[in-house]
Amino acid sequence: MNKKDISDELIVRNVQQGRTEYFSMIVERYRNRIYGIGMRFFYNHDDSADFTQEVFLRAYDRIHSYREIAPFRFWLAKLAYNLGINMKK
């Protein structure tokens, strides 16, 4: 099966079940989008790169709190926006 054919929800379920190697697929899919969110907050490459790394660290730590009520990409974007707001304070 092609990596692109695997749904976010299936990837997340695998990570939640301890198959942490699947988390790299999340990073691969969303790093540019999260970096773009960082650029909207910080207008700086280095700060946006640090922000992107921090978002994925927090997502990894909190992935067990994700419930399939809404698409994973919304959960991740919400986490990123909240972090961006907190980092700008």
**pLDDT over 70 at 1, yes or no:** no
Residue 2 lies in a domain: no
pLDDT band at 13 (very low <50, low <70, confident <90, very high): very high
Number of domains, the chain: 1
Residue of 43, 41, 37, 1 whose CA lies nearest to 22? 1
Q: Report the pLDDT value the prediction gives residue 89, as an integer from 0 to 100.
A: 78
Q: Is residue 1 part of a domain?
A: no
Mean pLDDT of 17-27: 97
What residues make up the domain containing 33? 7-88
Q: Note whether 11 and 57 are within 8 A (CB).
A: no
Mean pLDDT across the stretch 2-24? 93
The structure's pTM equals 0.93
As a whole number, mean pLDDT of residues 48-65 equals 98
Give domain status of residue 17, yes or no.
yes
